[in-house]
Amino acid sequence: MLIGVIADDFTGASDIANTLAKGIEPQGGLVTAQFPGIPDGPAPAGVEAGVISLKSRSAPVKEAVADSLAALDWLRAQGCRQIIFKYCSTFDSTPDGNIGPVAEALASALSAKAAVVCPAFPTTGRTIYQGHLFVFDKLLSESGMQNHPLTPMTDPDIRRFLARQCKGVVGHVPQTAVQAGVLSVAGALAAEAYKGTGLCVVDAISDADLLTIGEAIAEAPLVTGGSGIALGLPRNFIRRGEAKGGRSAFQPVVGPEAILAGSCSGATRGQIDQHAQNHPVYPIDVPAVMSGDVTPQTLAQFMAENAGRAPLAYSSGAPEDVTALQRRFVREAVSARLDTLFAETARALLAQGCRRIVVAGGETSGAVAQAVASALGSPAMVIGPEIDPGVPILTLGSEAPVALALKSGNFGASDFFAKALSIMETGQ
């Protein structure tokens, strides 16, 4: 294995796995597999990039650090030459962590200096300029992320925000240095390392910037960022003749389908509204879930009754409604109960023959992916075609494979749900 990725949630893991598998033309990418948690045994033969999906984004800091270091041990045992710590392109965290503490722990373990911090993903509108994170034309703190129920982002200055989480110095490589080219970026990072900088925010406003940064950090033991930072990394290994490039073939998956949405983002709510115009939907009543009146069997029955019609069950709402429910039932209790509901629903769906499952929301995706992988006894997920930027199809199993799509809340076009099911079935 050449590149190892430690992702702090499941949708983010799929996102960067897609980037590594796709690569850039004409070289292509690496043979990539995604793992739901740290595998018990070695990676399958031939895997060039391995992505470990953790649920460390919202975990306690000590737990997130411990899990990330355990993932690092496994990846190093597979021979990985470069490690990526992948977090969300909107830098989802809190003033206490977890991005800074995890990044510093990994940097210490790898003896890495001036490790790049770059959550930019220009294809989806995430850019960094003067150390500030933008979502399209808005600062992060004005993009809607300031209302996130778990990780509200109220400060767009990544340097300042990260400094609150870190013990060491946080550096910065500005856009002017990136525009000046590969040697300029390499020199700026070397200067930061000489000063003792631990983590270094690097500006990027285009894919061209990410390719420049990628070439400059070809030998870096640790890289941190969103999926965009991996854009140029496969090319480094392909150019050196250590990987062949290209992309694995995809075998379409047919059979019963289901859509589960647990994201409260504006993008997902819009996708639900559009899907509801032509397909059956089931709004999950959170108080009924908490009382036990809505169960996994309730959702599985709804899916079975509407098979062939792209049925969708969702727990989503406006920020003020979500806040009110969290106050009524306690945030952690609501989150845990919904995760269990979606996970057990996924198991019930598999038992009744479901073969295609689309999921929206990071926590929901983690719960569903772990349940499906456990039920199938197949920890390695093969990366298939891209549905929308940052969201590939994942397949598990060999004799009767199951297709998954794990979508971050803010990702995907308005018709994402129907399109995902169609691509799973046709490969087109």
Nearest to 381 by CA among 391, 369, 396: 396
**Burial of 413 per CB tally in 10 Å (0-12, 13-18, 19+):** middle
Dist CA 355 CA 402 (whole Å): 5
Residue type (1 letter), 427: G
Q: What digits encode the pLDDT tens for the residues 172-222?
A: 999 999 999 999 999 999 999 999 999 999 999 999 999 999 999 999 999
Measure the N-to-C terminal CA separation of the chain; round to a whole number of Å.
29
Q: What is the mean pLDDT of residues 2-6?
A: 98
Mean pLDDT of 125-138: 97
Q: Long-range contacts made by residues 249-252, C-beta under 8 angstroms, separation at least 24? A: 250/384, 250/385, 250/393, 250/395, 250/427, 251/395, 251/401, 251/427, 252/424, 252/425, 252/426, 252/427
- Using the structure block, give the residue that is written with the tokens 């891209």: 386
Class of domain 257-426: alpha beta
pLDDT for residue 319 is more than 80: no
Token pair 């819009």: residue: 270
Residue type, 311: P
Q: What is the pLDDT of residue 98?
A: 96
What does the pLDDT read at residue 265? 85
Predicted confidence (pLDDT) per residue in 323-333, tens digit: 787 778 877 78
Question: What pLDDT, on a 0 to 100 scale, did the predictor assign at position 279?
Answer: 98
Residue 372 has pLDDT above 80, yes or no: yes
Residues 6+ apart with CB under 8 A from 108: none
Q: In what order do the strands lie in the sheet with 132-135?
A: 126-129, 132-135, 138-139
Do residues 299 and 255 touch, judged by C-beta distance below 8 A? no
Ordered DSSP codes for 346-402: HHHHHHTT--EEEEESHHHHHHHHHHHHHHHT---EEEEEEEETTEEEEEE-SSS-E
Give 78: exposed, middle or buried? Use CB within 10 Å, 0-12, 13-18, 19+: middle
Rounded Cα–Cα distance for residues 426 and 428 (Å):
5
- Contact (CB, 8 A) for 68 and 54: yes
Contact present, 366 and 53 (Cβ < 8 Å): yes
Q: Is the pLDDT of residue 423 over 80?
A: yes
Reply yes or no on whether the pLDDT at 52 is more than 90: yes
Q: How does pLDDT run across 84-106, given as a tens digit for each residue? A: 999 999 999 999 999 999 999 99
**pLDDT at residue 313 in the model:** 98
- Confidence at 28, pLDDT banded by 50, 70, 90: very high
Residue bearing tokens 């108080």: 287
pLDDT per residue over 103-115, tens digit each? 999 999 999 999 9
- The pTM score is 0.87
What is the per-residue pLDDT for 255? 96
Given pLDDT bands bounded at 50, 70 and 90, which one contains residue 249?
confident
Tally of CB atoms within 10 A around 92: 24
Mean pLDDT of all residues in 54-75: 96
Average pLDDT estimate for 57-65: 95
Predicted confidence (pLDDT) per residue in 250-278, tens digit: 899 999 999 999 988 889 999 999 999 99
* Token pair of 160 as six digits: 């300042």
Mean pLDDT, the chain, integer: 94
Q: What pLDDT does residue 329 have?
A: 80
Other C-beta atoms lying within 10 Å of the C-beta of residue 391: 23
3-state secondary structure of 72: helix
Strands 32-36 and 222-225: unpaired
Each domain of the chain, given as residue ranges in start order, spans 3-239, 257-426
**What's the burial of 164, exposed, middle or buried (CB within 10 Å: 0-12/13-18/19+)?**
middle
- In this prediction, residues 132-159 reach a mean pLDDT of 92
Q: Which fold has domain 3-239?
A: Rossmann fold (3.40.50)
d(CA 203, CA 185): 10
Amino acid found at 261: A
| Residue-level pLDDT at 210 | 98
